[in-house]
Amino acid sequence: MPECHSTNDLAAQIVRQPSTNEGTVVITDKQTMGRGQRGNYWRTEPGKNLTFSVVLKPAFVEPKNQFLLTMVISLAVHDLIQSGLNCAAFIKWPNDIMIERKKVCGILIENQLKGNEITHSIAGIGLNVNQKHFEFPSATSLAQVLNKQFYLPSLVDDLLENIEARYLMLRSGKFTELKAAYVSVLYWKGEPHTFSIQGLTLKGIISGVDAAGKLLIDFGERERAFDIKEVEYLE
Ligand code: BTN
């Protein structure tokens, strides 16, 4: 689409038609009402970045394992940057992609459940590519870090190939391998850092994620698991 409000919203509309195939991609140069996590907006300069959504139909994934989809999509973006572009990147739990301690990519995965089945999943990706100036100092782009401009159509092709490869791993039941790959590139893992937890500032060390995808932080005396709303990264 030359322009649309949100590729996630448009994909959710399209997927209601039974003829919509798994793998359908909605992509735009200009997203006018991009949505982020926790009800935030996702704003980027038109024509300079990747903003797209992929329709998946992961009926083979049990809802209790839905975090596997987060691993698949974030690993695919991580693969693109780390292996494809040879640039060190990390996954900030649950699914922000970080380069040089700044966010280069946000992911919004919206799963539709029916009974005990994920009927479809819309995986929305906002990857900052050629944009050089950002509203927030905590944001960056591939161009800012690697000092070159990218041709968006080939970058999206590469990223879609990575998504397919990681998704096929999921489909063939390689859960342990996916989790190991995800945990191995977790941002701040194994380093002492400060977190805000229920109004308290606590020092701890990220050790991984549990089976439900909760973040595990080791506070010395014990390890605790956190949901997205329960923990904030400080420094
Ligand atoms: C985040 O808050 O980090 C998630 C941002 C996700 C943005 C992408 S851009 C393409 C897709 N369409 C949306 O409305 N949001 C996602």
pLDDT in tens, 127-155: 999 999 999 999 999 999 999 999 999 99
Say if ligand 1 is within 6 A of residue 94 CB: no
- For ligand 1, what atom is nearest to the CA of residue 103? 3
Question: Which residues lie closer than 8 Å to 174 by C-beta, 6 or more apart?
Answer: none
- For ligand 1, what atom is nearest to the CA of residue 8? 12
Pocket test for ligand 1, best of 5, 51, 233 (most atoms within 8 A of CB): 51
Say if ligand 1 is within 6 A of residue 204 CB: no
Pocket test for ligand 1, best of 9, 13, 42, 44 (most atoms within 8 A of CB): 42
Going from the Cα of 44 to the center of ligand 1, the distance in angstroms, rounded, reads 10
Going from the Cα of 26 to the center of ligand 1, the distance in angstroms, rounded, reads 12
Confidence of residue 39 (pLDDT cuts 50, 70, 90): confident
Question: Which residues lie closer than 8 Å to 15 by C-beta, 6 or more apart?
Answer: 24, 55, 112, 120, 122
- The 10s digit of each residue's pLDDT in 208-223 is 999 999 999 999 988 9
How distant, in Å, are the alpha carbons of 6, 22, 122, 219 from that of 28?
9, 19, 15, 44
- For ligand 1, what atom is nearest to the CA of residue 126? 9
pLDDT recorded at residue 81:
98
- The 10s digit of each residue's pLDDT in 40-87 is 999 999 999 999 999 999 999 999 999 999 999 999 999 999 999 999
Going from the Cα of 213 to the center of ligand 1, the distance in angstroms, rounded, reads 20
- For ligand 1, what atom is nearest to the CA of residue 9? 14
Q: Which residue has the tokens 């739990």?
A: 93
Count CA atoms within 13 Å of residue 25 on its CB side: 14
Element (H, E) at 90: strand 90-92
